[in-house]
Amino acid sequence: MSVTETCFVSHLEGAIDGARLEPQRIHTLHEGRPIWVRYDLDSIRHAVTKNDLVGRPPNIWRYKELLPVFDMSKLVSFGEGMSPLLNSPRLGTSLGIEDLWIKDESQLPTGSFKSRGMAMAVTMANHFGITSVALPTAGNAGGAAAAYAARAGMTCHVFMPEDTPMINQYEAMAYGANAYRVNGLINDCGRIVNEGKEIKGWFDLSTLKEPYRIEGKKTMGLELAEQFDWQLPDAIFYPTGGGTGLIGMWKAFQELKTLGWLESDKLPRMYSVQSSGCAPIVEAFDNDEKHATPYSNAHSIASGIRVPAAVGDFMILDAVRQSGGKAIRVEESRIGEWMRLGMSREGISICPETGACIGAVEACLENGTVSETDRVVIYNTGAAQKYAEALACEMPSIDKDLPIDWSSI
């Protein structure tokens, strides 16, 4: 059956200069910077209401009018999305926040929210007839890309620095990618992918280097609005690497506001969280700069936010500033402690990146940036079990050997 959906994409737009670009062709970067997807929001307003969403399946495609879905038969999907929004009263009490929520992305396919972006990017690659994709990664993106490529029958090439978490290395390989460990840093991996584009014709799925991963990650914001009955919270804490999720959510909120779907025009303050081991966005924010300076000697157990240079740096900074939020650096050596605090209080599988966010909420409450009555949402972007090395290093040792001394229990 050939199904032609109504797609509401009006055009694409260079983020650095506002140039209007044609939608129906393959795009990468424009002037070396990312590209926005723009919609005809007036037509969407007439075509669909938020009540129309109610009966749709609980996955990202329920928002298809707000996504670049040209052909539903080309979807590459595991049914990702509608992650639970969990109230977190015990962690809230520990931190001193009365109305704390965790949006739990650890339950998505491949154990992280990377699946949202990859579902959309690989769907679009499939739409354009691309058969071979590649990317550099030091974390969850490689596994997600490999899984979606497998589902689409594409070839996938993944290049990872040697310090990439073990599980990320093996999952990429197990999902059938040509996975390579590179003796170098993430930018060396990026260089290899660039060469492969020229020599082998690979399509580059790197963060923000094609226009559609943002759109997939935007669904985190659309879901949050729907789950809170179209009333957005006061503050969102988001662990920031390349920034796709933060940029995407802020875009979602603007689109919902323009559509008139929100109960109130007040948008959340966006807090971009990084580790003291790698905080380029925080430095640029503190110094009032438009772009970030590449961070040297970047290190963090939170591999998803160990991104020394982000091609969309100005888009992250714009979103944070427009929202009245901040970029916040937390102490790398305490990430494991915060991760365990979240896991033990709420039973949620918290990744190190989100551990950093828990630390940021604590700091913001202490210095008055956030008040105890604010409705605060933390994004748990991935599952703890993907970080075997971090767990082994950061958790207390398990030393209660048998035979049990009952008096110690």
Compute the least distance from the CB of residue 209 to ligand PLP, in Å: 12
What are the Cα distances from residue 407, in Å, to 399, 402, 403, 404?
Answer: 15, 13, 12, 9
Report the residue number, 44 or 352, with the smaller CB distance to ligand PLP: 352
- Binding mask 130-169 toward ligand PLP (x if CB under 6 A, else -) reads ---------xx-----------------------------
Cα dihedral across residues 208, 128, 139, 343: positive or negative: positive
- Radius of gyration of the chain measured on its C-alpha atoms: 21
Compute the distance between CA of residue 309 and CA of residue 291 in angstroms, rounded to an integer: 10
Residue 353 engages ligand PLP in binding (rule: CB under 6 A): yes
Q: Please choose, out of 125-133, 175-183, 233-241, 280-288, the segment that lies near ligand PLP by the rule CB under 6 A.
A: 233-241
236 and 270 in contact (C-beta within 8 Å)? yes
Residue 241 contacts ligand PLP per CB under 6 A: yes
Residue with tokens 């924010």: 285
Determine, following the binding rule CB under 6 A, whether residue 355 of this chain makes contact with ligand PLP. no
For the chain, what percentages of helix, strand and coil (3-state, to nearest 5) are there?
Answer: 45, 15, 40
Q: Rule CB under 6 A: is residue 77 a binding residue for ligand PLP?
A: no
Q: Which of 88, 110, 123, 381 binds ligand PLP (CB under 6 A)?
A: 381
Q: Give the one residue of 77, 110, 240, 274 binding ligand PLP; rule: CB under 6 A.
A: 240
Q: Is 211 in the site for ligand PLP (CB under 6 A)?
A: no
Give me the 295-324 binding string for ligand PLP, x by CB under 6 A, dash otherwise: ---------xx-------------------
Integer angstrom CA distances of residue 101 from 30, 227, 318:
37, 11, 25
Contact present, 313 and 243 (Cβ < 8 Å): yes
Closest contact distance (angstroms) between CB of 46 and ligand PLP is 32
Number of H helices, E strands in the chain: 13, 13
Among 59, 88, 110, 112, binds ligand PLP (CB under 6 A): 112
Stretch that binds ligand PLP, among 157-165, 242-250, 253-261, 401-409 (CB under 6 A): 242-250
Q: Are 358 and 309 in contact (CB under 8 A)?
A: no
Nearest approach in angstroms of CB 217 to ligand PLP is 6
88 binds ligand PLP (CB under 6 A): no
The token pair that represents 51 in the structure block: 């009540």
Among 143, 211, 243, 336, binds ligand PLP (CB under 6 A): 243
Q: Closer to ligand PLP at the Cβ: 164 or 240?
A: 240
Output 9 or 144, the one with its CB closest to ligand PLP: 144
- Position with the least CB separation from ligand PLP: 304
Is 221 one of the binding residues for ligand PLP (CB under 6 A)?
no
349 is a contact residue toward ligand PLP (CB under 6 A): no
How is residue 235 annotated by DSSP?
E
The CA-CA-CA angle for residues 392, 167, 397, to 5°, reads: 10
Residue nearer to ligand PLP on the CB measure, 77 or 244: 244
Instruction: Single out the residue of 330, 382, 390, 394 in contact with ligand PLP (rule: CB under 6 A).
Output: 382
CA dihedral 325, 326, 330, 332 (to 10 degrees): 110
Find, among 379, 382, 378, 330, the residue nearest to 351 by Cα. Answer: 382
The nearer residue to ligand PLP, 44 or 358, going by C-beta atoms, is 358
Using CA atoms, how far apart are residues 359 and 32, in angstroms rounded to an integer?
A: 34
Nearest approach in angstroms of CB 160 to ligand PLP is 13
Closer residue to ligand PLP in complex, CB, 252/259: 252
Residue labelled with tokens 């402690």: 337
Chosen residue from 169, 244, 274, 300 binding ligand PLP by CB under 6 A: 244
- Give the contacts of 159 (CB within 8 A, at least 6 positions apart): 134, 135, 136, 137, 180, 182, 189, 190, 192, 193
Measured distance CA(382)–CA(115) in Å, rounded:
10
Binders of ligand PLP: how many residues, by CB under 6 A? Answer: 18
Nearest CB to ligand PLP, comparing residues 59 and 115: 115
Q: At what angle do helices 313-323 and 244-259 cross, to 10 degrees?
A: 50
If one asks whether residue 242 binds ligand PLP (CB under 6 A), the answer comes out as yes
Please give the residue ranges that form the binding site for ligand PLP (CB under 6 A).
Answer: 112, 114, 139-140, 207, 239-245, 304-305, 351, 353, 381-382
